């Protein structure tokens, strides 16, 4: 069977109990970068993001604000959508769990699980943390409080339906061990296999009696589907699973679910187990990036270190915000963000790097050759093998979900271009050797052209502006190998002057 050309990528659906912060922006931007890269590889991409709108956590916040839960989630979801628009997120779909299409799929899925005898009823008594939206054990508490939310858990005693998780664990383990469902990076795979080996993972409750804000269990309306079980299903409900499932047939199983490590257990163990129980295929890959702190501390309102992504966009613009967030630490590892480093880095890499390279190349071509690209040199001044190596590293970066590695290759090329200009001093050649001058400018313009394509997944607006300035066009059907082939810039192409891509600040 020919390999499917589709590529289905998802972000977590975010809780809307507050405004979006840079953690949400980080995951969504990184998934967008991968989605855009895959589109450049001519993959038929379906990129999904969205919001997790049910559950006790959202309901409690709505009550605090004196709003009806639907009005509350509408208001906050709009903030996520606005932010993603401002960040040029190219999602093909945005799922909200309060949508009718989600409810329909959830009902079909839950009925399927019931029919396959995956549930049993039991009386449950335990501790529930609404911050985590999960049951926690006495052992996990620190001074009687949930260690993550510093909140006293609620004591719950109610009738629940339980999912026979234990029955499916051997199969989940086999999927991971055989690489049929990849869990990346490797450290996370080990963590999950360790959990499967050592932690006694127990059957878990898939419904709640006392929570009303949610979707009713189809065969027992006294129960609401547990918010996590419902939320995970967004990945199939967005594809119309169970009622309008053309997209489901094309795109499922997902190529990759992207998230941070905080929710990997839900995705790498519970989700595939539920899918197996319903007779559906598990996702192909779960990728968990790291968790970041801000100025050394966990982001929190009380510490006052929460960074509003909208403020970053106001200061630096959308592309630069994308760049600054992704370039702080390796994707997949934990890291620390220091907001006061952003300005320095913006000026060095973007204003002084990419923008400077384009503008000096363009203005010299304008000044010395009235904007026309000159003959190609026989032997290049740019180190073409260095360019080729950087491109193959860039590709490898994407293949391994190391998008920061791909990003570094671009900066490497930018530095190389600026160095060549410094070494060749075109302004001196202009007085002595215009042929040699034309060669230098050809090479640096060509390097700019290649950079414009490589930066497209990361900084789509800058990429487009570079291409307009360089007189080149890009259409999605153009094969990647061809567009990044060295020497494609046509002799005689007219460049046009443009405002700096990134103004020094």
* Catalytic residue status for 132: yes
Smallest gap, in angstroms, from Cβ of residue 228 to ligand MSP? 7
Residue tagged active-site, from 61, 102, 132, 267: 132
Which of 15/252 has CB closer to ligand MSP? Answer: 15
Which of 273/299 has CB closer to ligand MSP? Answer: 299
Which of 52/255 has CB closer to ligand MSP? Answer: 52
Residue tagged active-site, from 104, 112, 149, 173: 149
**Cα separation of 201 and 194, whole Å?**
11
Smallest gap, in angstroms, from Cβ of residue 234 to ligand MSP? 6
**Cα separation of 149 and 497, whole Å?**
53
Which of 89/444 has CB closer to ligand MSP? Answer: 89
Residue tagged active-site, from 24, 103, 134, 247: 24
Smallest gap, in angstroms, from Cβ of residue 80 to ligand MSP? 9
Residues in Cβ contact with 482 at an 8 Å cutoff, skipping those fewer than 6 apart: 488
Which of 12/332 has CB closer to ligand MSP? Answer: 12
* Catalytic residue status for 416: no
Residue tagged active-site, from 139, 301, 431, 477: 301
* Catalytic residue status for 21: yes
Query: Which has the closest alpha carbon to 235: 257, 216, 207, 265?
Result: 257
* Catalytic residue status for 257: no
**Cα separation of 375 and 368, whole Å?**
14
Residue 430 · residue 353 · CB < 8 Å: no
* Catalytic residue status for 431: no
Residues in Cβ contact with 74 at an 8 Å cutoff, skipping those fewer than 6 apart: none
Smallest gap, in angstroms, from Cβ of residue 52 to ligand MSP? 3
Give strand pairing partners of 50: 13, 95
Residue tagged active-site, from 146, 285, 289, 359: 146
Smallest gap, in angstroms, from Cβ of residue 63 to ligand MSP? 19
* Catalytic residue status for 146: yes
**What burial letters (b/e) apply to 147-164, b meaning 16+ CB within 10 Å?**
eeeeeebeebebebbbbb
Residues in Cβ contact with 350 at an 8 Å cutoff, skipping those fewer than 6 apart: 320, 323, 501, 502
Smallest gap, in angstroms, from Cβ of residue 205 to ligand MSP? 17
Which of 259/320 has CB closer to ligand MSP? Answer: 259
**Cα separation of 500 and 283, whole Å?**
43
Smallest gap, in angstroms, from Cβ of residue 229 to ligand MSP? 10
* Catalytic residue status for 505: no
DSSP label at 120? Answer: E
Lookup: tokens for 123: 């009386």
Which of 32/52 has CB closer to ligand MSP? Answer: 52
Residue 237 · residue 278 · CB < 8 Å: no
**Cα separation of 17 and 56, whole Å?**
10
The residues that touch ligand MSP, with contacts defined as CB under 6 A, are 12-15, 23-24, 26-27, 52, 231-232, 234, 259-260, 262-263, 291-292, 299
Residue 46 · residue 9 · CB < 8 Å: yes
189 φ, ψ to 5°? -60, -45
Residue tagged active-site, from 4, 152, 243, 298: 298
**Cα separation of 272 and 180, whole Å?**
11
Active site residues: 21, 24, 129, 132, 146, 149, 298, 301
């Amino acid at each position: 069977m020919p390999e499917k050309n589709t590529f289905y990528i998802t972000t977590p659906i975010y809780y809307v109990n507050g405004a979006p912060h840079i953690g949400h922006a980080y995951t969504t931007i990184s998934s967008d970068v991968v989605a855009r890269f895959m589109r450049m590889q001519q993959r038929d991409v379906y990129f999904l993001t969205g919001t997790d709108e049910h559950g006790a956590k959202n309901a409690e916040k709505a009550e605090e604000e004196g709003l009806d839960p639907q009005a509350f989630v509408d208001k906050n979801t709009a903030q996520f959508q606005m932010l993603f628009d401002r960040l040029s997120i190219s999602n093909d779909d945005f799922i909200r769990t309060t949508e009718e299409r989600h409810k329909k799929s959830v009902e079909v899925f839950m009925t399927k699980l019931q029919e396959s005898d995956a549930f049993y009823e039991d009386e449950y008594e335990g501790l529930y943390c609404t911050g985590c939206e999960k049951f926690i054990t006495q052992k996990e508490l620190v001074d009687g409080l949930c260690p993550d939310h510093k909140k006293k858990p609620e004591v719950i005693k109610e009738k629940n339906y339980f999912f026979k998780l234990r029955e499916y664990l051997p199969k989940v383990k086999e999927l991971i061990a055989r690489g049929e469902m990849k869990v990346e990076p490797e450290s996370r795979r080990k963590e999950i296999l360790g959990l499967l080996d050592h932690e006694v993972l127990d059957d878990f409750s898939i419904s709640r009696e006392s929570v009303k804000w949610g979707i009713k269990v189809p065969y027992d309306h006294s129960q609401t589907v547990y918010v996590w079980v419902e939320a995970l299903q967004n990945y199939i409900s967005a594809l119309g699973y169970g009622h309008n499932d053309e997209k489901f047939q094309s795109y499922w199983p997902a190529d990759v679910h992207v998230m941070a490590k905080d929710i990997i257990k839900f995705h790498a163990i519970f989700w595939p187990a539920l899918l197996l129980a319903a007779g559906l295929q598990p996702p192909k890959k779960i990728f968990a990036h790291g968790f970041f702190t801000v100025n050394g501390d966990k982001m929190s309102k009380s510490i006052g270190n929460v960074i509003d992504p909208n403020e970053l966009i106001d200061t630096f613009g959308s592309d630069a915000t994308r760049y600054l967030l992704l370039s702080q630490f390796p994707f997949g590892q934990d890291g620390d963000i220091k907001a006061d480093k952003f300005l320095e880095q913006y000026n060095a890499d973007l204003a002084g790097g990419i923008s400077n390279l384009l503008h000096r190349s363009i203005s010299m071509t304008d000044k010395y050759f009235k904007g026309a690209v000159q003959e190609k040199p026989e032997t290049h001044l740019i180190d073409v093998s260095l360019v080729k190596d950087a491109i193959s590293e860039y590709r490898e970066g994407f293949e391994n979900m190391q998008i920061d590695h791909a990003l570094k290759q671009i900066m490497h090329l930018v530095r190389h271009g600026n160095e060549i200009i410094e070494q060749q001093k075109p302004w001196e050649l202009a007085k002595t050797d215009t042929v040699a001058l034309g060669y230098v400018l050809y090479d640096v313009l060509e390097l700019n052209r290649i950079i414009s394509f490589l930066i497209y997944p990361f900084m789509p607006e800058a990429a487009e502006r570079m291409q307009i300035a360089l007189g080149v066009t890009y259409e999605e059907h153009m094969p990647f190998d061809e567009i990044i082939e060295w020497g494609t810039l046509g002799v005689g192409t007219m460049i046009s002057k443009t405002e700096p891509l990134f103004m020094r600040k």
